[in-house]
Structure 1
Amino acid sequence: MQIQGFHHVAIIASDYLRAKKFYTELLGAQIIAETYRAERDSYKLDLAFADGSRIELFSFPTPPLRVTRPEACGLRHLAFKVADIECAVAYLSHNGVTSEPIRYDELTGRRFTFFNDPDGLPLELYETTEPVVGTGA
Structure 2
Amino acid sequence: MPTMVLTGVHLSLAGNVLNEHTKKCEVAVEVEEKDVTTYISNGWKLVIGGLKSGNLGLEFLNDFAATKLDSIMWPLLGTVVPFEVRPTQAAVSTSNPKYTGDVLVKEWQPISGSVGDEASVGVSYPTSGAVIRATA
Relative to the length of structure 2, the TM-score reads: 0.22
Q: Which has the higher contact order (CA 8 A, sep 6+)?
A: 2
User: Counting strand residues as a fraction of each chain, which structure ranks higher?
Assistant: 2
Relative to the length of structure 1, the TM-score reads: 0.22
User: Counting helix residues as a fraction of each chain, which structure ranks higher?
Assistant: 1
